[in-house]
Amino acid sequence: MTTAGDIMHRGAQWIPAHETLDRAAQLMRDLGVGALPISDRNERLCGILTDRDIVVGCVAMGHDPSKVTAGEMAQGTPRWIEADADISDVLREMTDHQIRRLPVIEDKRLVGMISEADLARNLPESDVGHWAESVYSRSGETMTH
């Protein structure tokens, strides 16, 4: 059985909810990623912040990224998966919720992230196609996760 832990990329880091968006952008740059899970003060997942969220939800709105926090950008119910979940559960979670990145949790701790590149490397082409069709086919809507 292939699991979420098998296909995830390790080294994912939280951004605390109290951190500002300019710091989040610096961390994304330093890590070479386009998204960061947002943690509350108890290191529990409370959202995901993307580079697009910073641009569209802050900068384009005329807000100062040094004054807006990651927590203020967190929207909706964050989705995640256990490291020992089967890859079919990963695909179902990402498809059902139309998300592009999925934090992986083990013993209540962030251990990695699954991105669309991880899916492409580890799933049959037909499964990746079904996922992509689900996530990208919603015309007129913007998907940020």
3-state secondary structure (DSSP) of residue 81: strand
Select the more confidently predicted residue: 41 or 26: 26
* Phi then psi dihedrals of residue 3, to 5 deg: -115, 170
Q: Provide the pLDDT confidence category of residue 138 given band limits of 50, 70 and 90.
A: low
Given a cut of 90, is residue 126 above it in pLDDT?
A: no
Given a cut of 50, is residue 139 above it in pLDDT?
A: no
pLDDT for res 122: 80
In contact, 91 and 100? CB cutoff 8 Å: no
Report the DSSP beta bridge partners of residue 23. Answer: none
Q: What is the mean pLDDT of residues 52-74?
A: 94
User: What span, in angstroms and rounded, lies between the C-alpha atoms of 39 and 137?
Assistant: 30
Give percent of the chain above pLDDT 70.
94
Given a cut of 80, is residue 96 above it in pLDDT?
A: yes
In contact, 87 and 123? CB cutoff 8 Å: yes
Q: Provide the pLDDT confidence category of residue 27 given band limits of 50, 70 and 90.
A: very high
Q: What is the mean pLDDT of the chain?
A: 87
Q: Provide the pLDDT confidence category of residue 143 given band limits of 50, 70 and 90.
A: very low
pLDDT for res 137: 73
Select the more confidently predicted residue: 123 or 138: 123
Given a cut of 90, is residue 112 above it in pLDDT?
A: yes
Among positive and negative, which fits the CA dihedral 68, 140, 78, 109? negative
User: What span, in angstroms and rounded, lies between the C-alpha atoms of 66 and 87?
Assistant: 38
Q: What is the mean pLDDT of residues 83-103?
A: 90
Report the DSSP beta bridge partners of residue 112. Answer: 10, 104
Q: For strand 101-106 and strand 15-16, is the pairing parallel, antiparallel, or unpaired?
A: unpaired
Q: Provide the pLDDT confidence category of residue 75 given band limits of 50, 70 and 90.
A: confident
Delineate the domains of the chain, giving CATH numbers in brackets. Answer: 4-136 (3.10.580.10)
